[in-house]
Chain A
Amino acid sequence: MSNSRFVIDGKDIPFRPGQTIMDAAMAAGVYIPHLCHNPDYASTGNCRLCLVKLNGRYVSACTQPAIADSQVDNQIDEINQQRKTLLQMLFVEGNHQCPGCEKSGRCQLQAVAYYVGMLSPYFTHFYPRRELDASHPEMVLDFNRCILCGLCVRASHSADKKNIFAISGRGMDSRLVINSTSGKLGDSNFSAHDAAASVCPVGVFLPKHKGYEVPIGQRLYDREPIAQVGDVAHPNHQRDKK
């Protein structure tokens, strides 16, 4: 046990060498908003929602190693406003229709948006045209909601050892692609039991043959805010009972 500590918003946080600010905060029960981070996989730092100030300097908490005796600002208005802008960017980039979405109430994007107080997407929508992939017998992929967090890419690579997913293109043309001859999920060796199937923080992966089993309004984030229940892939305590 190490004695190293740092401070987030006035609260003392212990950490072990090698832990990031996010690791240490999560272990101490301090919520830092995030989408692309999942403790099971190496963090990449692409969504930037975990923006914090480390001794006055902006860093992403999921990639920045904790530093002893440092001061981290997390829940301050200046950062919250910028997180709101980042979320608005994600909302206008894709096609997110919360009211009818099967993932409503179990979607981290929606839950974090509620948490930071984002009331509208605000910016002009891009309305990209993205095709669904319904070729797999067990799973539909709805790319409209993809936020390019790369978690399915990482899970398929490191947990499933299948490398089914990749990010292709550049800039605004970046997109999630399937590694199969036809580019369709049905032609890959994907299974609904893959780790990659259950890491999506939004609603790209939709299981077939069932839907709305838990009514909207009674789901994970409908009951309690994300700061208390945690990630959809790792809820602190499972309330979203089947």
Chain B
Amino acid sequence: MNRWRDIPQRSDLLLQYLIDIQQRDSCISTESIQKLSTELAIPAAQIKSVIEFYSFLHTTPRGHFNILFSDNITDQMAGSRALMRQLCQQLNVRQGDPRADGRVTVDTTSCTGMCDQGPALLINNFPITRLDSKRIELIAQLIEQDTPLEQWPAEFFEINDNVHRADILLTHNTEDGDALRALLEEGAETLLQRIGDAELRGRGGAGFKTATKWRLCKQADAAQRIVVCNADEGEPGTFKDRVLLQSYAAQVIEGMTLCAGIIGASKGFIYLRGEYRYLLDSLEKELQRRRDAKLLGNNILDQQGFNFNIEIHLGAGAYICGEESALLESLAGHRGIPQKRPPFPVTRGYLGLPTVVNNVETLMTACQIASHGSDWFTDKGTRQSAGTKLLSISGDCQQPGIYEYPMGTSVSDILIDCGADGPQAVQIAGAAGQTLCHREFKRKIAIEDASTGGSFMVFNRHRDMLDMVQNFAHFFAHESCGFCTPCRVGSTLISNLVDKLYTSHATQNDLRDIERIALVMRHASHCGLGTTASNHILDTFNNFPDAYQRRLRSTEYTPAFDLDLAVCEARAITGRDDDDAHIVCPPQEGFKP
């Protein structure tokens, strides 16, 4: 199981060692920390600080079966919370606490990227999707019988690609090595020019020109350069990279190798989110197959000196690591804290080396452009946004899944294709993206209009948009890295105020506070997570004011001190949550539950 046993110990592998220990022992003990501290010459406090940063690492044991329900809004809409309660009841276990016999823990986790086949959960890092009451019952039985995971029904672990619309990217397969042969025949400059001519922009959402990024890295003065594939697909509602890594991995890896050949990198990393650990084996096999075929490794395609090796690093439950500088910190074995810029990763990235960080889809697209030419790509899309874009569509629609569209396609056309019934809102680009309401459905998916990294969550007219707001507010409070003041404190303040609103205790003044905090987060935060974490608040304030107004108390102010909340600790100690254990204020005029 130890993936790293054959290579010398490296301090940048700290997080990887910790993940292996967690997997093996179900926690990371003080002894393990001391041992690592001695072996790697890293202070124990620093190792603990890394453990405490990542949601999937623990210093106290989790259950033998560690279950995490995906808690994205789409999972919740499909009934995940009720299913979790059912499982907790059947197993007689409280959410978050290991059962006394150590058999099982049940808890929630941020979106696991299975929104097209949710509700979903992770059990010991393996996903089970399409949960329903019957499946939960079977899971409870298997756990009570202590059946090893390998003997569980195989269909539990089936993950479907659900590709419902394929355009040029998903239909034009390239032969293995085509892009690399083009590179060797035509030269790096020609290929870089081709990617530039194709106007390829980063597919992760930021939209930076790929050729410019590669050129800046190529020009940086250094003996070694690095290529990183950002497979930390953590944006809630996004799962297209999961499908690419599952079914198109060869082209993704060839895209990395192409980039390496162009910029002169000899080392690469795939940073794979912990939620996608189930893809690790198939990806390792693909790397080996490509090494055997001389498409990876030393002297690629017998070209002397064309050396490129790839390591797969796992994440461990931290959304922030999708931000490229945080990802690079995590790759180096640190807490995933975004770094100030400049310097940019293209000049100072992984361990201070010039580094290209690209999204999975970007690398695959670059590979195809190398083989098919730039016109093949620019024939699709708009003037400013060339090519096609993969969308992960989920929520209230008949056919959730992957849709590849030419850039410039309107939201309303997409809603028709996926069978959305009476949509009132679409959340594009994930929790950090934009909330589009009905009158915005004519907008187009493109950099210059409605820009998205690929998430497309549909909400029908029966949904309470405040459910989404609360889900996202909790998500950002949980995922803020804590580095800067506005995001660390602001995301929690907003989360608390939204909860206050949710229970119909908030006033008009609380709404003004939410808006004030949201704007400070947008303006003052250190990184892209913080500056976008309040988008959903500000958008829904504009587009769905009723969702807020109808929950308000009529008063201007309420006391900050909440008597009912003040006794919550007493309730927890006595294990009571009945009506008599609550102090209910009499409803105010205008109160509408």
A179 at the interface (CB under 8 A from B): yes
The chain B residue sitting closest to A35, CB to CB, is B485
B534 at the interface (CB under 8 A from A): no
With A123-B493, A163-B43, A177-B49 already in contact, the answer to whether A171 and B488 are too (CB < 8 A) is yes
When chains A and B are docked, how far (Å) is the Cα of A43 from the Cα of B490? 22
Stretch of A2-10, A22-30, A81-89, A231-239 on the interface side? A81-89
When chains A and B are docked, how far (Å) is the Cα of A171 from the Cα of B484? 9
Whether A169 contacts B492 by the Cβ 8 Å rule is no
Considering only residues 500-548 of chain B, those with a C-beta below 8 Å from chain A are 513, 516-517, 519-520, 523-526
A105 at the interface (CB under 8 A from B): no
With A51-B524, A183-B45 already in contact, the answer to whether A86 and B480 are too (CB < 8 A) is no
Whether B45 contacts A180 by the Cβ 8 Å rule is yes
The chain A residue sitting closest to B527, CB to CB, is A45
A47 at the interface (CB under 8 A from B): yes
When chains A and B are docked, how far (Å) is the Cα of A18 from the Cα of B516? 34
Whether A90 contacts B485 by the Cβ 8 Å rule is yes
B486 at the interface (CB under 8 A from A): yes
A48 at the interface (CB under 8 A from B): yes
Whether B49 contacts A167 by the Cβ 8 Å rule is yes
Considering only residues 167-217 of chain B, those with a C-beta below 8 Å from chain A are none
Count of chain A residues with a beta carbon within 8 Å of a chain B beta carbon: 41
When chains A and B are docked, how far (Å) is the Cα of A167 from the Cα of B516? 28
B148 at the interface (CB under 8 A from A): no
**What A residues does B226 contact at CB under 8 A?**
none
B367 at the interface (CB under 8 A from A): no
Whether B53 contacts A60 by the Cβ 8 Å rule is no
**What A residues does B517 contact at CB under 8 A?**
85, 89
When chains A and B are docked, how far (Å) is the Cα of A183 from the Cα of B49? 12
Whether B48 contacts A177 by the Cβ 8 Å rule is yes
Considering only residues 215-273 of chain B, those with a C-beta below 8 Å from chain A are none
* A76 smallest CB distance to B (angstroms): 13
Q: Which of A43, A45, A60, A173 contacts B482 (CB 8 A)?
A: A173
Whether B342 contacts A174 by the Cβ 8 Å rule is no
Considering only residues 307-356 of chain B, those with a C-beta below 8 Å from chain A are 318, 335, 340, 342
* A206 smallest CB distance to B (angstroms): 21
* A 75-98 to B, binary, CB cutoff 8 A, 1 in contact else 0: 000000010011001101100000
When chains A and B are docked, how far (Å) is the Cα of A58 from the Cα of B520? 11
When chains A and B are docked, how far (Å) is the Cα of A149 from the Cα of B560? 28
Most buried by A among B54, B488, B496, B524: B524
Q: Which of B43, B44, B49 contacts A169 (CB 8 A)?
A: B49
Q: Which of A43, A65, A85, A181 contacts B520 (CB 8 A)?
A: A85
The chain A residue sitting closest to B339, CB to CB, is A44
* A129 smallest CB distance to B (angstroms): 11
With A90-B485, A124-B560 already in contact, the answer to whether A170 and B52 are too (CB < 8 A) is yes
Q: Which of A43, A58, A123, A166 contacts B340 (CB 8 A)?
A: A43
Whether A148 contacts B488 by the Cβ 8 Å rule is yes
Whether B526 contacts A179 by the Cβ 8 Å rule is no
B479 at the interface (CB under 8 A from A): yes
Task: Please classify the interface of chain B as helix (H, G, I), strand (E, B), loop, or mixed, using the class held by over half of its residues.
Answer: helix
* A22 smallest CB distance to B (angstroms): 12
* A165 smallest CB distance to B (angstroms): 8
When chains A and B are docked, how far (Å) is the Cα of A166 from the Cα of B560? 34
A46 at the interface (CB under 8 A from B): yes
Whether A46 contacts B483 by the Cβ 8 Å rule is yes
When chains A and B are docked, how far (Å) is the Cα of A227 from the Cα of B483? 26
* B320 smallest CB distance to A (angstroms): 8
Whether B485 contacts A48 by the Cβ 8 Å rule is yes
A178 at the interface (CB under 8 A from B): yes
When chains A and B are docked, how far (Å) is the Cα of A124 from the Cα of B523? 22
With A85-B516, A169-B49 already in contact, the answer to whether A47 and B493 are too (CB < 8 A) is no
With A46-B485, A48-B484 already in contact, the answer to whether A169 and B53 are too (CB < 8 A) is yes
Whether A58 contacts B478 by the Cβ 8 Å rule is no
A228 at the interface (CB under 8 A from B): no
A1 at the interface (CB under 8 A from B): no
Whether A168 contacts B526 by the Cβ 8 Å rule is no
**What A residues does B516 contact at CB under 8 A?**
85
When chains A and B are docked, how far (Å) is the Cα of A184 from the Cα of B478? 28
Considering only residues 38-52 of chain A, those with a C-beta below 8 Å from chain B are 43-49, 51
* A 46-71 to B, binary, CB cutoff 8 A, 1 in contact else 0: 11110100000010100101000000
When chains A and B are docked, how far (Å) is the Cα of A126 from the Cα of B44? 29
A172 at the interface (CB under 8 A from B): yes
Whether A166 contacts B46 by the Cβ 8 Å rule is yes
With A82-B520, A85-B517, A148-B482 already in contact, the answer to whether A174 and B44 are too (CB < 8 A) is no
With A163-B43, A171-B480 already in contact, the answer to whether A51 and B52 are too (CB < 8 A) is no
Whether A89 contacts B340 by the Cβ 8 Å rule is no
* A 101-129 to B, binary, CB cutoff 8 A, 1 in contact else 0: 00000000000000000000001111000
Considering only residues 149-197 of chain A, those with a C-beta below 8 Å from chain B are 163, 166-174, 177-181, 183
Whether A174 contacts B340 by the Cβ 8 Å rule is no
The chain B residue sitting closest to A90, CB to CB, is B485
Most buried by A among B44, B479, B523, B525: B523
**What B residues does A89 contact at CB under 8 A?**
485-486, 489-490, 493, 517
Whether A44 contacts B340 by the Cβ 8 Å rule is yes
When chains A and B are docked, how far (Å) is the Cα of A124 from the Cα of B499? 13
**What A residues does B45 contact at CB under 8 A?**
166, 168, 177-180, 183
B491 at the interface (CB under 8 A from A): yes
Whether B488 contacts A174 by the Cβ 8 Å rule is yes
**What B residues does A177 contact at CB under 8 A?**
45, 48-49
**What A residues does B492 contact at CB under 8 A?**
126, 171-172
When chains A and B are docked, how far (Å) is the Cα of A210 from the Cα of B506? 46
Whether A48 contacts B525 by the Cβ 8 Å rule is yes
When chains A and B are docked, how far (Å) is the Cα of A78 from the Cα of B340? 24
Q: Which of B43, B519, B526 contacts A48 (CB 8 A)?
A: B526
**What B residues does A166 contact at CB under 8 A?**
43, 45-46, 49
**What A residues does B525 contact at CB under 8 A?**
48
The chain B residue sitting closest to A44, CB to CB, is B340
**What B residues does A172 contact at CB under 8 A?**
477, 480, 482, 488-489, 492
The chain B residue sitting closest to A86, CB to CB, is B485
B481 at the interface (CB under 8 A from A): yes
Whether A171 contacts B486 by the Cβ 8 Å rule is no
When chains A and B are docked, how far (Å) is the Cα of A63 from the Cα of B523? 15
Whether A171 contacts B520 by the Cβ 8 Å rule is no
* B173 smallest CB distance to A (angstroms): 41
When chains A and B are docked, how far (Å) is the Cα of A45 from the Cα of B483? 9
The chain B residue sitting closest to A43, CB to CB, is B340
Whether A179 contacts B43 by the Cβ 8 Å rule is yes
* A196 smallest CB distance to B (angstroms): 14
8 closest residue pairs by CB, A with B = A174-B482, A179-B45, A168-B49, A89-B489, A63-B340, A171-B480, A179-B43, A171-B482
Q: List 21 A-B contacts (CB under 8 A).
A: A43-B340, A44-B483, A45-B340, A46-B484, A48-B526, A82-B519, A85-B516, A86-B486, A86-B524, A89-B489, A166-B46, A167-B482, A168-B53, A170-B55, A171-B477, A171-B478, A172-B488, A174-B483, A178-B45, A179-B43, A180-B45
Interface positions of B (Cβ within 8 A of A): 43-46, 48-49, 52-55, 318, 335, 340, 342, 477-486, 488-493, 496, 513, 516-517, 519-520, 523-526, 560
